[in-house]
Amino acid sequence: MSEISGEINALINLIDDPDEIVFNSIKKRFIGIGPSMIPLLKEQMDYTQDLWIAKKYDHLIFSISIDRFEKQIALYRNGASPNILDISIYLSQFIDNELDKETVLFEIDKIKRSIWLELNDYLTPLEEVNIFNKILFSYYKFNGKILSHTNIEEFSLSNLLVSKTGNSYPVGALYLIMAELLNIPIKSVKLPKQNLLAYMTNQTTYSGDSKELLLFYIDPLTGQIYTQKDIDTYLKKMNEEVTTIQPPVKSTLSYIHQWLSEIAMYEKKNGDNDKHKIILQSLDLLTEN
């Protein structure tokens, strides 16, 4: 351990070297060591008074975090079954390196139990959604905020659980997590410039096949219910094509792809083009064949 500590100290002492090749070598080594480097790098970043050096530390922490996220996502590319809870935690861990997974799971289980106690087998789909809304927005007082790209924490599920505030992606993920854990057929759907959910039901055709039928839409920011007519009116206002075909359901990876795309946009709007480019490269892992 003393040997690697000596190596780390030597590498840290080289961070102020202006040579880009030297810095890239340091970054490669720290990424190889992994997330255990993050607390030390954060401590060093907080200690330095040099903004240029602090930015280098920030870039190293970011690079380690995105590498961890890519490795976690790669597991799902290799056949593991993705679930929205795990991947939402991975993405939030990328945003918040100090995320405590056990705390997140505890809070998720607490919310799930609150909803479960209200459910029964005789409720209509609308009644089930009303229970979701009552627990999430009235009891736990979650507050959905319109996407603004001004605060990175508003993209984090873990921050949502603590602050009760987030944009439509972590709030939508929370809604989807509860639905998945409680076997309620609420899914994300693909609509232009919207992050809406939908309540789905299985319908058996004359041929005996089963297909999903969309009953109504849900805005995860507020729990507001929308009909197909409401959505058609919206599409017309946006000059988008209105068809009789229901919008396709997003897979878990597709939902995370859109979520991460908005985080990339946050970095671009806040002037960090390097982070923006790195995140765009990571999006390839979430592109489905």
**Confidence category of residue 68, pLDDT binned at 50, 70, 90:** very high
CB 91 within 8 A of CB 72: no
Q: Do residue 135 and residue 277 come from a single domain? A: yes
Among candidate residues 77, 95, 117, the one where a domain is terminated: 77
- Would the pLDDT of 288 be above 80? no
pLDDT tens per residue across span 168-212: 999 999 999 999 999 999 999 998 888 999 999 976 555 555 678
Which range of residues forms the domain containing residue 43? Answer: 2-77
Among candidate residues 77, 110, 133, the one where a domain is terminated: 77
- Strands 165-166 and 143-144 come out as parallel
CB 252 within 8 A of CB 72: no
Among the listed ranges 89-98, 113-122, 244-253, which one has the minimum average pLDDT value?
244-253
Q: Do residue 98 and residue 6 come from a single domain? A: no
The two three-digit tokens of residue 74, written as one number: 């790669």
Judged by phi (left if over 0) then psi (alpha if -120 to 50, else beta), residue 10 lies in alpha
Q: Do residue 228 and residue 108 come from a single domain? A: yes
Q: Angle, nearest 10°, between helix axes 101-116 and 168-181?
A: 60
- DSSP alpha helices (H): ranges in the chain? 2-13, 20-33, 38-47, 51-77, 84-95, 101-116, 125-133, 157-163, 168-181, 228-237, 252-269, 273-282
Q: Do residue 135 and residue 242 come from a single domain? A: yes
* Measured distance CA(262)–CA(127) in Å, rounded: 32
Q: Do residue 92 and residue 229 come from a single domain? A: yes
Give the chain's radius of gyration (CA, Å): 22
Q: Do residue 44 and residue 101 come from a single domain? A: no
pLDDT of residue 141: 96
Question: What's the structural domain count of the chain?
Answer: 2
pLDDT tens per residue across span 69-92: 998 888 776 666 678 999 999 999
Q: Do residue 88 and residue 69 come from a single domain? A: no
pLDDT of residue 3: 44
Q: Do residue 106 and residue 183 come from a single domain? A: yes
Judged by phi (left if over 0) then psi (alpha if -120 to 50, else beta), residue 242 lies in beta
Q: Do residue 143 and residue 72 come from a single domain? A: no
The two three-digit tokens of residue 156, written as one number: 């984090």
pLDDT tens per residue across span 227-280: 999 998 988 888 887 777 788 888 888 899 999 999 999 999 999 898 999 899
Smallest CA-to-CA distance from 31 within 69, 1, 86, 5 is with 69
Q: Do residue 89 and residue 115 come from a single domain? A: yes
Q: Do residue 194 and residue 243 come from a single domain? A: yes
Of all residues in the chain, the percent with pLDDT exceeding 90 is: 62
**Please, which residues have CB within 8 angstroms of residue 207's CB and are 6 or more apart in sequence?**
none
Report the mean per-residue pLDDT for the chain: 89
Q: Do residue 216 and residue 106 come from a single domain? A: yes
Distances (CA, A) of 45 to 12, 57, 58, 64, 204: 11, 6, 7, 15, 59
Among candidate residues 55, 77, 99, the one where a domain is terminated: 77
pTM of the model: 0.89
pLDDT tens per residue across span 8-26: 888 888 898 888 999 999 9
